């Protein structure tokens, strides 16, 4: 995501580098601990010996919270203390900003998800509704049949207070708006804290399920990238650092990939999911937003092979098997006076 320009024009550094290499007739080399499907399709994959690759990843401890009572357990698993006590430098991640609430069954602790397990469910007018609105059902746990649910949500500020009480020592709070770097042994914050610390002994993801269940096409890739960033802070197996993941989905491919130090498990699962749906990189998507988006969509009209979806939150999505029909039509029509943002292959959809 750091290589995608968020302003207009929304270009991606990878695509610019590949095109410049093509024009210059020289090789382009991309390195990544967790290469995306887009990067994997750009050229052949070269991997180091599996034993070397594995040793470069830290040990990942998974704290399965399914058996904990969600009405009493709070943001910290019962077994968390042994990972963060002592004099070790600890970074806790709780990515709350702009994220949906999670619901869990108060009886069995299972997360409330859609039938396919890919989306969170929200409580709307005494009904459970999937994040994209495509599924509705009564307020009943599909695992145990209980009708009592618990909202799992603690913001960073409240979590810091509880963590201070839990440990009996001061804890720094870091968000994207924070200017200072952590001074205390333990810091807690949003994803931004991973970019404000150069080194840590332990990184803890307090609620990784909200990353796994985020309503985004690339949620799994982005979740794996977060674990990779945490791994950079704690170092490989030889350094003694650890990444701790609290979750109610220990069977998710991202959790399995992290535990086995094998990000290819996520790539394979994502490939098998996206290819039948013609999602990038196996299809084309262009996002249209801004004050003039509605006028541009009206001018775009109907084009063979192009689906127009939306609006959703003021944004339209153009989908096709390739970018040619979308970009050709956009080049033909007149732009509205009002501002329009055109994002080819948007990362957060």
Please tell me whether the peptide bond between 34 and the residue prior to it is cis, using omega within 30 degrees of 0. Answer: no
Residue 238 vs residue 233, higher pLDDT: 233
Per the prediction, the chain carries an average pLDDT of 89
Domain assignment present for residue 26? The answer is no
| Mean pLDDT within 324-335 | 95
Q: What is the spatial distance between Cα 156 and Cα 81, in angstroms, rounded to a whole number?
A: 18
Q: What is the spatial distance between Cα 346 and Cα 316, in angstroms, rounded to a whole number?
A: 12
**Which range of residues forms the domain containing residue 125?**
102-152
| Mean pLDDT within 234-262 | 94
263 lies in the same domain as 303: no
Domain assignment present for residue 22? The answer is no
Task: Indicate the pLDDT class of residue 157, thresholds 50, 70 and 90.
Answer: confident
177 lies in the same domain as 211: yes
242 lies in the same domain as 147: no
Contact 123, 217 (CB under 8 A): no
176 lies in the same domain as 259: yes
We report the CATH number of the domain holding residue 296 as 3.30.70
pLDDT of residue 118: 75
We report the CATH number of the domain holding residue 222 as 3.40.50.300
Q: What is the spatial distance between Cα 263 and Cα 253, in angstroms, rounded to a whole number?
A: 9
Q: Is the pLDDT of residue 344 over 80?
A: yes
- Domain ends where: 246, 272, 298? 272
pLDDT of residue 72: 62
162 lies in the same domain as 143: no
344 lies in the same domain as 220: no
107 lies in the same domain as 236: no
Q: Is the pLDDT of residue 153 over 70?
A: no
- Domain ends where: 134, 152, 170? 152
Residue (of 52, 10, 45, 111) closest to 271 by Cα position: 45
Tokens 């009996």, residue? 168
65 lies in the same domain as 192: yes
Out of 72-76, 105-109, 143-147, 222-226, which region has the weakest mean confidence (pLDDT)?
72-76
| Mean pLDDT within 183-208 | 92
Out of 15-24, 77-86, 116-125, 307-316, which region has the weakest mean confidence (pLDDT)?
116-125
Task: Indicate the pLDDT class of residue 58, thresholds 50, 70 and 90.
Answer: very high
pLDDT of residue 75: 78
| Count of domains forming the chain | 3
Task: Indicate the pLDDT class of residue 99, thresholds 50, 70 and 90.
Answer: very low
118 lies in the same domain as 158: no
211 lies in the same domain as 238: yes
On the 0-12 / 13-18 / 19+ scale of CB atoms within 10 A, 246 is buried
pLDDT of residue 220: 94
225 lies in the same domain as 93: yes
Contact 75, 162 (CB under 8 A): yes
pLDDT of residue 131: 72
Which helix (H) or strand (E) segment is 205 a member of? strand 202-205
| Mean pLDDT within 40-69 | 91
pLDDT of residue 300: 96
Q: What is the spatial distance between Cα 254 and Cα 223, in angstroms, rounded to a whole number?
A: 7
Percent of the chain exceeding pLDDT 90 equals 59
Q: What is the spatial distance between Cα 255 and Cα 336, in angstroms, rounded to a whole number?
A: 46
Which helix (H) or strand (E) segment is 320 a member of? strand 315-320
Contact 217, 203 (CB under 8 A): no
Out of 26-35, 45-54, 97-106, 263-272, which region has the weakest mean confidence (pLDDT)?
97-106
pLDDT of residue 279: 93
Regarding pTM above 0.85, the answer is: no
| Mean pLDDT within 248-258 | 96
Task: Indicate the pLDDT class of residue 221, thresholds 50, 70 and 90.
Answer: very high
Domain assignment present for residue 232? The answer is yes
Domain assignment present for residue 20? The answer is no
- Domain ends where: 210, 238, 272? 272
Tokens 């943001």, residue? 75
Percent of the chain exceeding pLDDT 70 equals 96
Question: Which residue spans within 77-197 are E strands per DSSP?
Answer: 90-93, 102-105, 121-124, 127-130, 136-137, 149-152, 171-174, 186-189
Out of 75-84, 96-105, 320-329, which region has the weakest mean confidence (pLDDT)?
96-105
| Mean pLDDT within 93-110 | 73
Q: Is the pLDDT of residue 98 over 60?
A: no
Residue (of 286, 269, 259) closest to 344 by Cα position: 286
pLDDT of residue 101: 62
pLDDT of residue 231: 96
pLDDT of residue 175: 79
161 lies in the same domain as 201: yes
Task: Indicate the pLDDT class of residue 116, thresholds 50, 70 and 90.
Answer: confident
Q: Is the pLDDT of residue 73 over 70?
A: no
Q: What is the spatial distance between Cα 236 and Cα 257, in angstroms, rounded to a whole number?
A: 15
Which helix (H) or strand (E) segment is 317 a member of? strand 315-320
């Amino acid at each position: 995501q750091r290589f995608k320009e968020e302003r207009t024009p929304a270009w991606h550094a990878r695509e610019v580098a590949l095109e410049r290499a093509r024009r210059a007739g020289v090789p382009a080399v991309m390195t990544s601990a967790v290469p995306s499907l887009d990067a994997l399709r750009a050229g052949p994959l070269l991997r180091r010996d599996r034993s070397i690759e594995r040793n470069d990843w830290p040990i990942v401890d998974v704290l399965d919270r399914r058996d904990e009572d969600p009405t009493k357990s709070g943001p910290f698993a019962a077994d968390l203390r042994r990972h963060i006590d002592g004099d070790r430098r600890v970074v806790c991640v709780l990515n709350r900003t702009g994220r949906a609430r999670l619901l869990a069954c108060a009886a069995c602790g299972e997360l409330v998800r859609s039938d396919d397990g890919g989306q969170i469910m929200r409580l709307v007018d005494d009904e459970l509704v999937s994040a994209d609105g495509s599924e509705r059902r009564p307020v009943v746990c599909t695992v145990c049949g209980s009708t009592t649910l618990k909202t799992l949500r603690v913001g960073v500020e409240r979590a810091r207070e509880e963590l201070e009480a839990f440990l009996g020592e001061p804890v720094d709070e870091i968000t994207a708006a924070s200017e200072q770097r952590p001074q205390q042994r333990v810091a807690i914050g949003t994803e931004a804290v991973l970019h404000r610390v150069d080194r840590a002994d332990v990184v803890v993801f307090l609620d990784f399920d909200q990353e796994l269940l985020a309503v985004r096409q690339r949620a799994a890739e982005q979740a794996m990238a977060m674990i990779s960033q945490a791994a950079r802070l704690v170092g490989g197996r030889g350094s003694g650092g650890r990444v701790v993941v609290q979750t109610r989905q220990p069977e998710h491919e991202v959790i399995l990939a992290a535990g086995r130090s094998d990000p290819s498990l996520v790539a394979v699962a994502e490939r098998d999911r996206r290819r039948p749906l013609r999602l990038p990189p196996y299809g084309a998507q262009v996002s249209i937003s801004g004050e003039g988006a509605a006028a541009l969509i009206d001018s775009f009209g109907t084009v063979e092979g192009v689906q127009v979806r939306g609006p959703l939150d003021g944004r339209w999505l153009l989908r096709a098997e390739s970018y040619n029909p979308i970009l050709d039509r956009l080049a033909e029509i007149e732009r509205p006076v009002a501002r329009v943002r055109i994002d080819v292959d948007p990362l957060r959809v």
